[in-house]
Structure formats: structure tokens, C-alpha cells
Amino acid sequence: MEKIVSAGIVESYFDKLRRNLVLDVAIVGGGPSGLVAAYYLAKAGRRVALFERKLAPGGGMWGGAMMFNDIVVQSDALPILEELGVSYRHYRGDAYLVDSVHATAALIYAATRAGATIFNCYSVEDVVFKDERVAGLVVNWAPVIREGMHVDPLVIMATAVLEGTGHDCAIARLVARKNGVRLNTPTGEVIGERSLSIEEAERTTVENTKEIYPGLFVSGMAANGVSGSFRMGPIFGGMLLSGKKAAQMICDSL
Ligand code: 48H
Ligand code: FE2
């Protein structure tokens, strides 16, 4: 048994990795927007993998608000919750309450069940930049980056990359800085997010979900960050709708 356990894992893992070296879509970040995008892309039959640097995908959704593990979702995002099998209950007006641990687990399950592959403990440290396009990801083990070890990365090629790194806008920043290019944002640069304003932020999260450079799409909090819009606090309808829109735009572009 000792030999079988190790052999099985090694064979299976490297087979999985080899099958995902060339993708239709590579998603950076396993927050709610990236997970929803992974679900819809896999459902549409695209070869999609998501790279998350933490052990557990889910980003900022596990902890609810200040670790009170419930979140709010508005009615226009309820069809997504229903499709992904997430339970919710009405609170007041347009606000519905969702247990954040249940919702996060459900998003991960739905995305992987639909056929998306998740690589956790991977840090995306750079992109492939070819013929004035983003053409893939440069990845390394997250602990390698954290330890500051000088170990060279591997490359994942992808027709489209989705930047879903949340508040940091890490991928958009490095694409603009390293290659001296202008992004499709109001200033051509990563503007950075503004303070909290819920209705405005929820609307613009979806509006700002777009292709910001050839081959590079942006979703979720990063969509608002790159375009200089507001944050919204523990309300997640915009994140879910942004992930769905990103998947649709990417499908249309492939
Ligand atoms: C691999 C990386 C890298 C990297 C980061 O922040 P997230 O939850 O992302 P979104 O945009 O889907 O959701 C935002 C939401 O959680 C939120 O913060 C809200 C609604 N805030 C409102 C407010 O006012 O604060 O997840 C991003 C994920 C995380 O899991 C990171 O670990 C991961 O991306 N990540 N993974 N390589 N270079 N950078
Ligand atoms: Fe946040």
C-alpha cells in the first residue's frame, strides 16, 4: 500500500499538470469571481484551470464580514446561487443572506464538478507576453516565492488569462509595469480602488469586467481596482455577476 499510495498520487498529479500546460483559459485567483468564471467556462466546454496561491481557494468569501461568516447577495445574482446549488434566505428589501462557508465551498465544488481544474499553492509570478498579447502564466510554488528562493518557474500557455486577484490587481499591475503598455482603463494604468460606496461599486464591478489588454480579462474586485472604482464591503452579487460576465466575454473571444 505504501508504494501504491505515493505512485498513484505522483502519476495522477503529473498527468493533471501535463493536461493543463496548454489551456483555453487560465484564471489567476480563486476568489468568488474567479470560481464563478471557472464554473461557466468549464460548463461551456472550455479547457480551464484556476491557479490559487493559498492552500484553500475561496479568497475573501470564507470570512464573511469581520469574520461574522454570513454575506449579503442581491436579487439579480440569485439565479447564479441557484444554478450553483447555494442556499440563501431573504432578509430585507433586495438583501438576501448566505452562509459564507457554505457558499464558498459550493462555488469550489461547482467549478471543479463542471470540469475546471484548480491548482492550489501556486503563485502566479509573471505572464507570458508574446506578439503584444498576454499568452499565458508563469507559475511557481507559493512557498518558493514566500521563502524568496531563487527557483525558476514553469509556464502555462493560455489563449485567455483572467485576472481575478482581488484588491491587489497583481497581474494587471505587473503586465503594465513590466511591459510599459497601456491598459484599457480610463488612464491606461491601474488606478487603484476608491473608498466604500455599495450601489455604485456593485454596478461598476460588472461594468468594469472586460478585456484590459489583448488576452487579459479582469473580474471581481480587481475589475474595480484597475478602473478606479469603489469597494463595496461584504456584499457579493457583483462578484458573482462579474465572474459570469467574464466567462461569457472570454467564450465570445475564443
Ligand atoms: C495566485 C493569487 C495571486 C497570485 C492573489 O480577493 P478575492 O476574494 O477575489 P474576488 O475579486 O473574486 O472577490 C473579492 C471579494 O472577496 C472581496 O474582497 C470583496 C467583495 N471586498 C469588498 C471590500 O470592500 O473589501 O480572491 C483573490 C484570490 C485570493 O485567494 C488570493 O490568494 C489569490 O487571488 N491571488 N493567486 N497567484 N499572484 N494573487
Ligand atoms: Fe474585500
Identify the CATH number of the domain defined by range 2-253.
3.50.50.60
ipTM: 0.99
> Which residue has 472604482 as its cell numbers?
229
> What's phi and psi for 69, nearest 5 deg?
-85, 55
- pLDDT of 29: 98
Structure confidence at residue 119 (pLDDT):
98
Ligand closest to Cα of 231 equals 1
Q: Is 231 in the pocket of ligand 1 (CB under 6 A)?
A: yes
Q: Is 245 in the pocket of ligand 1 (CB under 6 A)?
A: no
Ligand 1 close to Cβ of residue 41 (< 6 A): no
Cα 2 to ligand 1 centre (Å):
38
**Residue at 28: amino acid letter:** V
Q: Where are the domains of the chain?
A: 2-253
In the reported structure, the alpha carbon of residue 169 is separated from the centroid of ligand 1 by a whole-number distance in angstroms of 9
DSSP-assigned letters across all residues of 83-125:
HTT---EEEETTEEEEEHHHHHHHHHHHHHHHT-EEEETEEEE
Q: What is the pLDDT of residue 10?
A: 97
**Three-class DSSP category at 238:** helix
The CB of 173 under 6 Å from ligand 1? The reply is no
pLDDT at site 192: 98
134/147 Cα distance (integer angstroms): 27
The verdict on whether residue 157 carries a ligand-binding annotation is no
CA of 122, nearest ligand number:
1
Closest protein CA for atom 25 of ligand 1: 233
What are the pLDDT tens digits along the chain (254 aa)? 998 999 999 999 999 999 999 999 999 999 999 999 999 999 999 999 999 999 999 999 999 999 999 999 999 999 999 999 999 999 999 999 999 999 999 999 999 999 999 999 999 999 999 999 999 999 999 999 999 999 999 999 999 999 999 999 999 999 999 999 999 999 999 999 999 999 999 999 999 999 999 999 999 999 999 999 999 999 999 999 999 999 999 999 99
Give burial (CB, 10 Å; 0-12/13-18/19+) of 105: middle
Protein residue with least CA distance to atom 23, ligand 1: 233
Q: Is 167 annotated as a binding residue?
A: yes
Q: Per-residue pLDDT tens for 65-92?
A: 999 999 999 999 999 999 999 999 999 9
Distance between Cα 169 and ligand 2 center (Å): 12
SS (H, E, C) 185-234: CCCCCCCCCEEECHHHHHHHHHHCCEEEECCEEECHHHHHHHHCCEECCC
Has 53 been labeled as part of a binding site?
yes
The protein residue with its alpha carbon nearest to ligand 1, atom 21, reads 233
149 SS3 class: coil
**The ligand 1 atom nearest the CA atom of 54:** 32
User: Looking at residue 147, what is its pLDDT?
Assistant: 95
**All residues with CB under 5 Å from ion ligand 2:** 60
Does 90 show up as a binding residue in the annotation?
no
CA distances from 235 to 35, 115, 117 (A): 16, 27, 27
**Which residue has the least CA distance to atom 24 on ligand 1?**
233
| pTM exceeding the 0.80 threshold for the entire prediction | yes
Say if residue 98 carries a ligand binding annotation.
no
pLDDT of residue 206: 98
CB atoms within 10 A of CB 150: 6
Task: Check whether 231 is labelled as a binding-site residue.
Answer: yes
